[in-house]
Amino acid sequence: MTAGGLPRLEPSTLRRLGGAARPSLAERPAVGIVHLGIGAFHRAHQAVYTADAVERAGGDWGILGVAQRRPAAVDALGPQDGLFSVLERGPEEDAVTVISAVRDVLLAPREPDRLSEAIADPGVHVVTLTVTEKAYPRDRATGGLRLDDLEVASDLAGSAPRTAIGQLARGIALRAQREEAGPLTLLSCDNLPRNGVVLRRLVHDFCARMNGGARTLEWLERNARFPSTMVDRVVPATTPGDREEVARRLGLEDRGAVVAEPFRQWVIEDSFAGPRPAWEQAGALIVPDAGPHEAVKLRLLNGTHSMLAYVGGLAGARTVAGAWGDPSVAAVGALLGDDDLEPTLPEAPGIDIAAYRAELGQRWINPRIAHRLEQIGADGSQKLPARFAEPARRRLADGAPPRWIALVMAAWARHLGASGNGLTVRDPGAEPVQRALEAAHGHRDEAAAVLAVLGEEVAGSEPMADLVVDWLGRFDADGIAGALKEAVRG
Ligand code: CS2
């Protein structure tokens, strides 16, 4: 029994329940996947696909979920034998499903050896990752591993690894010593363009510099694959109210519950080193090239999300639904898509962009999903380049400076600056930008400070800087609401 008087969700209590929410626990699969970053997104996305795939096609595809830093997920899921529920909030009604795909959990810094052993285990064929953008320590100029990152340096020096890249390299080094272990697929599920290519480069760079890494590198070349993927599902942070709702529906307390919208999508490049779950039977698309899907989603969904966070936040909204409900902000969203993002998309055969955008609008106004702008606004220093660097470069090259991307960057400057926009700043990577903003004399310096994250080409562009300066001037003269109204009218 828990403090609230309800028994905790775990196999024996779940067995007593009836109803559709109950998964079969008769033959839970053995671990075949190691997942780095067992946060809410993984639980509501890949774990759901994997549970569905196993239910339909079988296979030992249980998940060992690894928490990277904080013990919260391990403390929640450990006593529940990996069970947790997904509370799906549709526009009109909710549904709750218990997912049994997670077989075990561990906290990486507490059990580094167990993590390496798991990556080297012959029964494991796939490692998936949702570690967020900032866990890919890339040099902005070269795209290679950032050697000046203190955690990377400490991992390379042989300490218990703190970075995801160091953890992978250590596990792979062990696997390379084991004849029987077989090939391995490493699947990044983070919101980065060409996430598989990025992950491959970082793991290779790390192994090349690691003590005795030559053999591991050779093994990697022959035995590892890094498919790129596009993942999509809105997963707002779980609130106490959500947990109460789950408790009411299950009659059990679930400390690992997550909330999600009904929509979910997963596009995976068909480049696996060995066996994989039948994810396509759970609705995943397995394609030769995930690039077009990735670009469409990262720009139109995530890019517009960042606009809603900074511009909507400045206009006083606190959730996606609230920001999208503000006519000026929604008009900016439409213009950003029309003028600055859509023209930069690659050929995307089979994707109906107009229908995709219309569906995004429907997802965003779902009033029962309280997707907080603060959550989206975190880590802008990592997210903005992934979402806007390429479109901004392309628009500038086409002689069509991207006015709405410039607006987002100006709003980001206000978010990070002394006056803020009312949303808490959570972005360790933004320190250099914040320092530059503090030292700024005027709008031109502010523009240079924020544009730096979009890379040299964009930061060095005069027309781009002019646009950001223009927006900052309008904010000062007309206030955000006035500036937006005026701009969308024209
Ligand atoms: C969001 C994403 O927090 C953010 O930056 O843009 O987490 C977004 O909700 C997901 O990518 C949707 O799939």
Cβ pair 257, 242 in contact under 8 A: yes
Q: What is the DSSP letter of 418?
A: S
- 105 CA from centroid of ligand 1 (Å): 24
Quick count: other Cβ atoms within 10 Å of Cβ 90?
A: 13
What is the structure's pLDDT at 4?
Answer: 67
- 302 CA from centroid of ligand 1 (Å): 6
The closest alpha carbon to 305, from 368, 378, 355, 237, belongs to: 378
pLDDT, averaged per 10 consecutive residues of the chain (490 residues), comes to: 78 79 80 98 98 95 97 98 96 92 98 98 98 95 94 95 98 95 97 98 97 94 98 97 94 97 98 98 97 98 98 97 97 98 93 97 93 97 98 98 98 91 92 97 98 97 98 97 92
What is the structure's pLDDT at 379?
Answer: 98
The closest alpha carbon to 395, from 345, 347, 436, belongs to: 345
Helix (H) or strand (E) holding 291: helix 291-296
Atom of ligand 1 at shortest range from CA of 231 = 13
- 151 CA from centroid of ligand 1 (Å): 26
Residue of the CA atom closest to atom 8 of ligand 1: 234
| Best residue for ligand 1 mutational test, from 235, 294, 298, 305 (most atoms within 8 Å of Cβ) | 305
The closest alpha carbon to 403, from 357, 468, 448, 483, belongs to: 468
Amino acid identity for residue 253 in this structure:
E
| Best residue for ligand 1 mutational test, from 307, 308, 376, 412 (most atoms within 8 Å of Cβ) | 376
Which residues approach ligand 1 with their CB closer than 6 A? 191, 232-234, 302, 305, 375-376, 383
Residue of the CA atom closest to atom 13 of ligand 1: 232
Atom of ligand 1 at shortest range from CA of 302 = 6
Has this prediction a pTM greater than 0.95? Answer: yes
Contacts of 116 (CB under 8 A, 6+ apart): 167, 170, 171, 173, 174
Atom of ligand 1 at shortest range from CA of 191 = 11
Task: Measure the CA dihedral 381/383/385/387, to 10°.
Answer: -150
- 376 CA from centroid of ligand 1 (Å): 6
Task: Go through the domains of the chain in sequence order and give each one's CATH number.
Answer: 11-287 (3.40.50.720), 291-489 (1.10.1040.10)
Contacts of 470 (CB under 8 A, 6+ apart): 406
The rounded Cα 346 to chain-centroid distance in angstroms is: 22
Helix (H) or strand (E) holding 116: helix 112-120
- Helix, strand or coil, per DSSP, at residue 359: helix
What is the structure's pLDDT at 419?
Answer: 79
- 395 CA from centroid of ligand 1 (Å): 24
| Best residue for ligand 1 mutational test, from 131, 192, 195, 302 (most atoms within 8 Å of Cβ) | 302
Atom of ligand 1 at shortest range from CA of 265 = 13
Which phi-psi region, left, alpha or beta, contains residue 259 (left: φ > 0; alpha: ψ -120 to 50)? beta
- 231 CA from centroid of ligand 1 (Å): 9
What is the structure's pLDDT at 19?
Answer: 64
Residue of the CA atom closest to atom 11 of ligand 1: 232
Computed over its alpha carbons, how large is the radius of gyration of the chain?
23
Residues 94-98: contacts with CB within 8 Å, 24+ apart? 94/245, 94/249, 94/368, 96/21, 96/246, 96/249, 96/250, 97/20, 97/21, 97/23, 97/48, 98/9, 98/14, 98/21, 98/22, 98/23, 98/250
Residue of the CA atom closest to atom 6 of ligand 1: 302
What is the structure's pLDDT at 20?
Answer: 58
d(CA 346, CA 106): 40
Amino acid identity for residue 46 in this structure:
Q
Cβ pair 190, 177 in contact under 8 A: no
